[in-house]
Amino acid sequence: MARPRRVRTTDSRHDLPIAPNLLDRNFIATAPNRIWLADITYIETDQGWLYLAAVMDLYSRRIVG
């Protein structure tokens, strides 16, 4: 039995501007509130989609928003 195909939700083949990579993979924070990381995801539930966004301070590794 084949698994159902996953729905593609992101199309990276576009001509829209891309934000610059300011950290250049240097993930070392020397003080609090200097580098924040953010991510967003969504989760399907019986009632519909839930969206979760989080902002983390890289120095303390605490969620700040």
- 24-46: pLDDT as tens digits: 988 899 999 999 999 999 999 99
Residue 4, in any domain of the structure: no
- Paired tokens of 10: 């992101």
Our count of domains for the chain comes to 1
Asked, for residue 13, whether it belongs to a domain, the answer is: no
| Of 56 and 12, the one with more pLDDT | 56
Question: Is 47 within a domain?
Answer: yes
Q: Is the pLDDT of residue 8 over 80?
A: no
- Domain membership of residue 57 (yes or no) is yes
Residue 7 has pLDDT above 80, yes or no: no
Q: Report whether 36 contacts 58 (CB < 8 A).
A: yes
Contact 31, 43 (CB under 8 A): no
Print the domain residue range for 60: 29-65
Assigned domain for 2 exists: no
pLDDT value at residue 32: 97
In a domain, 33, yes or no: yes
| Domain-located, residue 42 | yes
**In Å, how far are 6, 13, 38 from 42, measured between CA atoms?**
14, 21, 14
Q: Considering the entire predicted model, what is its pTM?
A: 0.66
